[in-house]
Amino acid sequence: MITTLIATRMTAQSIEQTKQGVQFSAQNLDVKIEFYSNNIVRVYKTPQGVSYNKKSLSVVKLPENTTVSFEQKGNTTVLKSNSIQVDVNPVTGGISFYDNSGKLLLKDKDYGTQFSALDDAGMPSYTIRAGFLLDKEEPVYGVGQIMDNKFNRRNSSHHMQNENMSTYSPYFMSVKGYGVFWDNYSISDFNDNPQELSFQGIGHCSDYYFMYGKNADGVIAQVRDLTGKAPMLPLWAYGFFQSKERYTTQDESLDVLKKYRALKVPLDVIIQDWRYWPEFHKTDSLWNSQSFDKERFPNPKKWADEIHKLNAKLLIVTWPGFGPKTEQRKEFDSKNMIIKFDTWPPKSGARPYDVYNPEALDIYWRYLNKGIFSYIGNDGWWLDSTEPDHINKKDSDFLLPTHLGTYRSVKNAFSMMHNKGIATNQRLTNDNKRVVILTRSGFIGQQRYGSNTWSGDVASSWEMLEKQIPAALNYTLMGIPNWNSDIGGFFAGRWKKDGGNNNPEFQELYVRWMQFGTFCPMMRSHGTDLPREIWNFGERGSWCFDAQEKAINLRYKLLPYIYSTSWDVSHNNGTFMRPLIMDFANDSKTHEIGNEYLFGRSLLVAPVTQYKARNWQVYLPQGSDWYNFWTNEYYKGGQSVATETAIDKVPLYVKAGSIIPFGPEVQFSTEKKWDNLEIRIYPGADGEFLLYEDENDNYNYEKGIYSTITFKWNDKEKKLTIEDREGRFPSMLKSRKFKIAIANRNDVIADSSPKSGKLISYNGKKIVVKF
């Protein structure tokens, strides 16, 4: 390491200049500042004279070669890349971050980092607090999935302990275009008040990353650069999922799939919930044995094969806890790889394995692979209770040892590590099948593992539906793109006394939740107390059945748009659920709006969250003009619009300049080729869309085996250019037809379908279509 000693003019303090940063001591702290890139700066602090070698669970990036200039201004040392300026005061320990124009972004508060000695179950440790100074009215987002119906996280406090329905990471993003990730996995606290924003947790160092992206997209790109990209999920993962708590036999779930096929209602995935394993006289001592009960699942391989023959996929639930009579538990116990508190279900004696131990992750997969994956060939995993559930909590439980320290010091990373073990081992076992994981918790870095976090066992209520939206948006702003919820809410017992599935209010709640689910990264129906399959709400021709079918069919029509968005998420660090601040931060009204969002870069969704609401206020941000998706009515941005919302229509608007591909009507995602897509153009601005296609599963896209077609709309010339196709893959369409339809703002229609369009042939070579 190259070091240069820089003496300050007025004190005896000094700073050592390193290749891409500085190190110094101040306020009894040793501080290291290092540029990881032009846009990312790491700040690492330990008590003076107490070194600690931090190995991150989340961060995968190594420092890249970055040109950093150094300058001394009085007592201040100034470090600059081509994007960020960092001012350091070695007397107070204060650190200030600026953009390259000199605009102040954030202050690491003078005297703001504190270490208080802590005995962590016999291990010398610290309670650590890191404080920051923000502008008084500066909105920030992130922190986690929090069910408080708030979007802006200013002036709030949160105990960051990952549990069912609460998923946190010590991270925030500012509307000013920067983010901070405090790399700590302990049970922690976030607090923001007029004096400061702070994180407090336990550990041996204060370790954070300042990331500058200019805007929300840029910050998310830096988060992914730092902690890992999100891989592509297969096309089928964007279809419709059906499950319940629970299908008790292999025939029951197979019959559900057959009935969907008979009704011709689209479906791609069946999920098998808990207790498919032997119940051992119903004491649950064989809980999560990762094997099948011979009476209820006599031929699980044939069951999975039958599901596949019906062109559907199978997800199987597996838990982190094991009953005392399971072979897994016996091996984990013998190797001291069990965290010794009781997990779900109560009174079973089940306990979670130590996900922080790399060997334990491999052992877990060995059983899972032998008992399920390589045996029946399932297509994905439902990882329940990944916080995990904790029965009869005692304070002493949090002091229990894990491979990486006390449970409380690493608890919030449990889901990420559990997901890591399964995802990495599955890829090693079979690299031809993309990892798909449904999981109940998360942490920054988990996006690397093909994981989709759901919001937990939420109540079936209008209030809870409303809370889902800002919770999802803050979660996705942490750089973790995949999120979903139980359509209709998990616990629906409150509706039983009033007619259950025939209760009009529950039916309407379910329909509105399904409309929200249509515009989430995963569309999944699940719950307990009341069955959720579509026929339980009535027959075709009844309003509740028809409204659900309309939402499901719309989801499938949008698959070319959704799958192309998935490529944008994976390749360009994009985001599915885009809070309005991502695209319209200059419109200050968007800073507090957490009940509507863009799905992809074109569709503005404002889910209805109140009973019998047939008129819904939707804010259309300034900076674009808008079309009502259902009617083609045209609106200027910067206004609230009273939107008629029939029970079968979610308020949905399209940004002017959008180009949206619509696919065929299908019963499952890959039933028909995309050889006759409708390309719908919404004039009013120039626009561009990249249509992405590949083999729909496997990881060949990582080797460049995919194709893209770019569509460009010139609004002034009313001209659509379809560029040369880029790339190729073996099953690629060599020629196809596109129906080009223009949304006419003067042609108000009764539904979303345009009246006419130009049919053109395309063979991969550039075409210009004029209107």
State which H helix or E strand residue 22 sits in. Answer: strand 21-26
- State the DSSP code for 312: -
Neighbouring CB atoms inside 10 A of 770's CB total 10
Task: Report helix angle 504-518 to 543-557, nearest 10.
Answer: 0
Residue 765 tokens read as 């070579």
Tell me which residue of 203, 218, 228 sits closest to 420, measured CA to CA. 228
Q: Which fold has domain 4-227?
A: Immunoglobulin-like (2.60.40)
The residues that bridge with 463 in the sheet, in sequence order, are none
Domains of the chain, residue spans? 4-227
Tell me which residue of 650, 601, 604 sits closest to 627, measured CA to CA. 604
Q: In this structure, are residues 190 and 413 in contact, taking their beta carbons and an 8 Å threshold?
A: no
- Asked if omega into 352 is within 30° of 0 (cis), the reply is no
**Bridge pairing between strands 451-454 and 437-439:** parallel
- Torsion angle of alpha carbons 373, 374, 375, 381, nearest 10°? 10
- Catalytic residue positions, numbered: 384, 387, 457
Residue 174 tokens read as 């500012």
Q: Residue type at 435?
A: V
Cα separation, 451 vs 430, whole angstroms: 17
Cα separation, 339 vs 316, whole angstroms: 24
Burial class (CB in 10 A: 0-12, 13-18, 19+), 387: buried
Tell me which residue of 574, 21, 532 sits closest to 583, measured CA to CA. 574
DSSP 572-624: H---SEEEHHHH-TTSGGGGG--S-EEETTTEEE----STT--EEEEEE-TTS
How confident is the model at residue 347, as a pLDDT?
A: 94
At 282, phi and psi to the nearest 5? 60, 30
State which H helix or E strand residue 106 sits in. Answer: strand 104-120
Burial class (CB in 10 A: 0-12, 13-18, 19+), 92: middle
Cα separation, 371 vs 209, whole angstroms: 41
Burial 20-51 (b: 16+ CB within 10 A, else e): bbbbbbbbebbbbbbbbbbbbbbbbbbbeeee
Average pLDDT by consecutive 10-residue portion of the chain (771 residues)?
46 81 96 98 98 97 98 95 97 95 96 96 98 97 98 98 98 98 98 97 98 98 98 98 97 98 98 93 92 97 98 98 98 98 96 98 98 98 98 97 98 98 98 97 98 98 98 98 98 93 97 98 98 98 98 98 98 98 98 98 98 97 98 97 97 98 98 98 98 98 98 98 98 97 77 79 98 93
Contacts of 24 (CB under 8 A, 6+ apart): 13, 14, 15, 16, 30, 31, 88, 90
Residue 345: strand, helix, or coil: coil
Q: Where are the beta strands (DSSP E) in 624-686?
A: 626-628, 634-635, 639-644, 652-655, 659-662, 676-681
Q: Where are the beta strands (DSSP E) in 645-735?
A: 652-655, 659-662, 676-681, 687-693, 706-714, 719-722, 726-728
Cα–Cα distances in Å, from 20 out to 38, 404, 595?
A: 10, 30, 42
Residue 301: strand, helix, or coil: helix
Vertex 648: Cα angle to 643 and 650 (nearest 5): 45
Cα–Cα distances in Å, from 253 out to 269, 312, 489, 530, 684?
A: 11, 12, 20, 16, 48
Tell me which residue of 605, 596, 680 sits closest to 650, measured CA to CA. 605
First to last CA, the chain: 63
Neighbouring CB atoms inside 10 A of 690's CB total 18
How confident is the model at residue 598, as a pLDDT?
A: 99
Burial 616-627 (b: 16+ CB within 10 A, else e): bebbbbbebbbb
How confident is the model at residue 121, as a pLDDT?
A: 97
How confident is the model at residue 9, as a pLDDT?
A: 41
How confident is the model at residue 13, as a pLDDT?
A: 65
Burial class (CB in 10 A: 0-12, 13-18, 19+), 155: exposed
How confident is the model at residue 7, as a pLDDT?
A: 46
At 577, phi and psi to the nearest 5? -95, 105
Burial class (CB in 10 A: 0-12, 13-18, 19+), 388: buried
Cα separation, 33 vs 51, whole angstroms: 15
Neighbouring CB atoms inside 10 A of 159's CB total 12
Cα separation, 262 vs 256, whole angstroms: 10
- Torsion angle of alpha carbons 246, 249, 250, 255, nearest 10°? -80
Max intra-chain CA distance, the chain: 83
Q: In this structure, are residues 626 and 654 in contact, taking their beta carbons and an 8 Å threshold?
A: yes
Q: In this structure, are residues 462 and 494 in contact, taking their beta carbons and an 8 Å threshold?
A: no
> Quick one: how far is CA 642 from the chain centroid?
31
- State the DSSP code for 65: P
Q: Where are the beta strands (DSSP E) in 56-101?
A: 69-73, 76-80, 84-88, 95-99
State which H helix or E strand residue 473 sits in. Answer: helix 462-476
Cα separation, 564 vs 462, whole angstroms: 32
